[in-house]
Structure 1
Amino acid sequence: MLLDRKSLSLQLAMEASQAALDRARELGIRVSIAVCDAGGHLIHLAHMDGVPAHTREIAIDKAYTSACFGFSTSLWAARLDGMSRMVLEGLASRPRMILFGGGVPVLVDGCAVGAVGVSGGSELEDVVCAEAGVQQVVDRLGVDARG
């Protein structure tokens, strides 16, 4: 059987990125913002002036992790609470796996159609900026983002 999977367009990715950039400016921080599609593939990347180069890859990996798992990267701590050290170390050692906040999925009908990843501020600031990007898409589509 074939799957028919919805995914963010470049236009929506650019709008999400702009909303996250606007929020970062309001907070007085500089960040990198990555927006990926339902498969975790990068659609759009923005890198504010003066942000360390490493934030690019971290933002991309936050978006990737969030899109692939369908939940915010900030939820990993609670999901892993009580797991063995082997599980924690195993997940943390996986390439592109991010276990801290800043990656937020865009959910449509309970399915991730993409995600926004932000890096450069504190963990909370990254989350706030990523959520602003997701909210822009949700508002534009007129969907319920809670899944």
Structure 2
Amino acid sequence: MSTPTPRPSVLFVCVHNAGRSQMGAAFLTHLGGDRLEVRSAGSAPADTVNPAVVQAMAELGIDISAETPKILTTEAVQSSDVVITMGCGDTCPVFPGKRYLDWQLDDPAGRGVDAVRPIRDEIEKRVRGLLTELGIPTAA
């Protein structure tokens, strides 16, 4: 009997946890299903998820309207295998043995849905690439 492989854990981090990191987490959850553990957080979380981001994701059939921005904790970073920063700079703690990726993406804050769509599409492309790197087939 084989031992089940532990699910990789991925943490998306941006400043407000209201846009880019929420989209990254939603795409990874949508495409990777229960084959991995997904979290998102922000170094200075907003009160709510950006409405234009919610709308842009809804256009693809992904509902993130119930998500709430969460504060970045040291524990969240320590318990993740892959940490993807999206403009949080030096506020993300670094631990040995973790894989860090820095995705330079425009901040959707204060922008309408037309400006959010290209950011959303780039995040989806990068998430699909990450799933391929991790050897996880996409569910959708």
Whichever structure has more strand as a proportion of its residues is: 1
Q: Per the shorter chain, which TM-score range?
A: 0.3 to 0.5
**What TM-score, normalized to structure 2?**
0.32
